[in-house]
Amino acid sequence: MKLTHKKIVVFSSIGIAALAGLSLLLAYCTSSRDPLTVSFKRLYPAMMVGNRLISINDLEQSRTVAASFGVGQEQADRRQVNTEKSIMLARDMSLRVSNDQLADETLFYTKGNTAEYRALLAKHYEGSEREFYKFVIIPQAADAQLRMKFYNDINDTSPAYKKAQDVLERLSKGEKFEDLAKAESADQATAQLGGDLGFYETGQLLPELEDQVSVSATGEYRKDIITSRLGYHLIYPVQYSNTGGKKLWHVKHILFVPDGYSQWLDQQLEKIGVKVFLK
């Protein structure tokens, strides 16, 4: 029997519709992780956050990671939505995170603790560095940018910034850095040590803090206030050495933590709409 062009079109349409129906069934109605199903789950959205589509695969992976930490599905989905909103907010505010910044962020998590990092990947991220990068590095880098923007925007009105200015003035009048760190620093772990952060290799300090330490003179405190994702810092780069190709800094700091970031962030995130396609 010879097929006419019209019949070929009809059969082709039926085949395409059947394939589309199968892909929808596998994507939305099964928990299978075989390669074909996963490919469909990557194709179809589970939700839309603002103008960002979140695939079924990404949502399921975030739930799996959360479950490995003992976090339930509802809380995991809420975290995922807020993470996506934060990434979107950072981009909307033109807080672009460069590849170099992401590389520095990765180094901060992995430097000096390779065994622990590999164990973390194996236990919570199916051994995948790509998943760790997606669920940890990118969100943390975006959050760091948002925090620093907020702290820089409010520094003129923040009690924490004014306190940092006051301590900086006291330093200029001869009070000891170590004594002021013990009395005023919000970093309780180092305050009792006079603000001493110890010796750090490249990559072991917060990237934005290391950037400032690396261009500072040693043996004296910086005469300005530095902003990081933690808040405001007064820093004292005690010494620097380069032994056997290994760069080491000995640093002290005094930390001042502003209030209000969480409330500000919640207000910004509430403005971003969410549409859910998969419960």
pLDDT in tens, 204-260: 999 999 999 999 999 999 999 999 999 999 999 999 888 777 888 999 999 999 999
102 against 244, higher pLDDT: 102
What is the DSSP secondary-structure string of 218-261? SSS--SS-EEETTEEEEEEEEEEEEETTEEEEEEEEEEE--S-H
User: How far is 216 from 128, CA to CA, in rounded Å?
Assistant: 37
Side chain identity at residue 60, one-letter code: E
277 against 168, higher pLDDT: 168
Q: Give the CA dihedral 161, 166, 168, 169, nearest 10 degrees.
A: 150
Contact 42, 57 (CB under 8 A): yes
Confidence grade of residue 41 (pLDDT, cut at 50, 70, 90): confident
Q: What are phi and psi of 136, to 5 degrees?
A: -125, -60
Q: Give the CA dihedral 72, 77, 82, 84, nearest 10 degrees.
A: 130
> For 139-175, what is each residue's pLDDT tens digit?
999 999 999 999 999 999 999 999 999 999 999 999 9
- Give the Å distances, CA to CA, from 19 to 5, 12, 24: 21, 11, 9
What is the structure's pLDDT at 19? Answer: 59
**The pLDDT of residue 62 is above 90:** yes
What is the structure's pLDDT at 13? Answer: 61
**The pLDDT of residue 109 is above 80:** yes
What is the structure's pLDDT at 11? Answer: 46
